[in-house]
Structure 1
Amino acid sequence: MIMIENRWIVRKGTQTLYLLFISGFCSFTLGSPDCHLITMTKTYTEAKTYCREMYTDLATVHNSTDMANLITIVPSTIARAWIGLETGDVWMWHWSWPDQKLDFLKWKVGEPQMKNEDACAAMDQQGEWIESDCGTQRSFVCHGNSDISGLIFVAETKSWRDAQNHCRGLSSYLISIQSAEENEAVHTVSASQNVWIGLFKDSWKWSDGSKTSFRYWKPRQPNNLSGQDCVAAIFRDKGQWNDLKCNGKRFFVCNGEAETANNLMTPNTTDLVSSTPNTELNNATTEMSTVTPTKQPPNTTAQVTTDSVSTLTTLMGTSAQTTTPSSTLKPTENSQSFPTDNLILIQENMTWIEAVGYCREHHIDLVHISSKDIQGKVAETAKNATSLHVWIGLRYTCKFNFWFWTKSTSGCYHNWAPGQGSERKYDCDVTGAIEATGRQQWVGLPETEKLNFICYVCTG
């Protein structure tokens, strides 16, 4: 994740100097390297050389969480920046769900076709796999949650890319198949129709050698035009990726521990969106530093610096219909809010992700509880809730089995209910809530439940 804590703009005459205070890391996972937005313009090759000399390499985006962090944190004034994806010489098949092994194959005789071009895989009526043009319209199967047998069949026909985006909108992925039993289950749920599965072929590779298959292309990209062998994230376009000619000079993102902190540069203003007058501060100065997160032991409430809102959710394509844009998430006229100091209870039931979006759109963030004093204020505020529990800014990672606040919070305070927190292991997509009544302790609940929630508010 890249976190830009503050941005100052100093303008003298016609020259604009952007000074960025940057700290953060590429992913919320423990032990991941620092990630740095470099505000100088370089060609892709120059940027890669710089990153390898000053840090480790150009940034790799491993999953939807990493991408959501970039979209959430990088300011809209940054038009585009190089990331570490480039064309390679080998065309490979990947599952769209990152880090899934390609151990099981069920190709039809004569498949796949040995062509050096982008392609996607479908399951035919006999349950065998065929290579297909990714633009073909088909039904498809997404991974589901455990309460729906792990599969979601979508009868509506879409291109492979639109099907992928639809699954991402469900906080899921197009199905990846790891065994004959799973293949038969997909064949059964598809009612013997030709359906998309999550297998695709391309020649893109990551500069640092990572094998992650995560892709986040703009519509109709990559267009694979001659010389467009390097990739930039287009932050004016929701951070979606575009293949571009490598000799273009752009900002870029490095990962790894910094060799030096001297990264304050005067950017080329052609790579910036114009700033509004209220962002201009005369004679402003700022100091840049890099903060490396401290590794936390497992089964604790980890204080990890992150804005990972899982998949935010539609990092994720225009076809996703599972969430409402945060700008439209407003309490109804009949709902009430109860401010207590710098806290406000929103008496409107939303999912955890919707609540995060609402708080960040209209206030600061979901509340974080780092002390007994704050717990007392939150508990008092929660008493007015119309739901049995109230969302707080706490999230669980099932991969590493620990809890973390959505932004860094100092202190080690916790107030888990018996049997909750570090005492148990949860399913994925679980987030934190406080009991509205009783002992008002913390519990883990599925993020899709709809509850009241408490936001931090600006007090002046």
Structure 2
Amino acid sequence: MALLVFLLCSGLFHFTFTSNRLRMFDIGPRIKWSGASNHCIQNNESPVTLYDEEDDNFTEKFRDSETNYGIWLGLRKSRNLTWSNGDNVSFNKSSVSLTEGEQMCEAIDNDTWTGYTCSEKKHFMCSKDGTYTLIEKEAEDWCHALKYCRTHNSDLVSIQSERENELVLEKGNNRSFWIGLMHDKWEWQDNGCSSFRELTIDPRPGEEKECAYYRHGIMYEVGCGQCHNSFCSKGDMRIKVINKNLTWEEAFEYCETKHSGLLWIEDEEDQDAVEQWLERSDVVGPFWIALRQSRVFGFWIWRDSTVSYNNWKNGFVPESPSSHICGVISDRTGNFTWTDENCLFEHPFLCEEEIVYTNMGLTADHGHENHNE
């Protein structure tokens, strides 16, 4: 918290924010896959990527509350094999052979290229300007390993020659670790990096099954010419509900370490996104958020910025000296309003996690059918 005090005293606040920060969803018209994709794009959104079981559970409840029909996902066959930094695969020692709908990620294991399920947790190797760094302090799934490398270095390591392979093996020192190669015949249109994959082949005969839709908790491989509701999202930050009872400081540290930080709410659109998510959560609040009162000045702050938009219970901002200095957001029983709380109480909490993308050079240009179909 010393950083917060410094920022407050120095006046070094940052008030410039991007719009559509927290991820939010909506369901549109029944249409073919390419039309659904275009519908999302025309509304400055993207077809939805599912990242994990939490996304899967939310999607099932959201669909059930909005439509009786299936919804298109942003998943379609077409992915080319490239390194995560966008380089073509000109050197390859992989023995991976994918089954239908399968996704595998490449690791070095006992000095051998070996494919594993991408959700498996391993150490990993990052590279920057020809320098290789083996990260062993914490095991991650492939996508979170990629996120770490892009945050702290450059990218997961790519290997373009026998010489580079020898250098990677030498640096790996007989460890098992991820490298920057994902094997997947399917691609999420927004290039979101997801290790969640539970595709089921639609048994009905018809056109080639190259698109994915979702109904009753199941992802189906189907023909792209079928008609289902579009399912779109906007925002680059995922909302993560953490069902652990911790103090505010402990929750703050947990989110900083494992995600992108304790969640903060910039504006009414962020508040709506949080409400949309919590309405379909089974976790009972209140939830810690990154809301804290300055002991020095008395006003409320989000990490390194003051609170402009607010949703305080009964419309009253808690003030010193009678207020507690940490903030929570209620669950649906409290209409998702904010209240002050003793920082030493233990509650579940909300983290935010920046979405990581796979090959940043990939483009999403799949559709051929007219978007009005």
* Structure with greater contact order relative to length (CA < 8 Å, sep ≥ 6): 2
TM-score between the two structures when normalised by the length of structure 1: 0.39
**Higher helix residue share:** 2
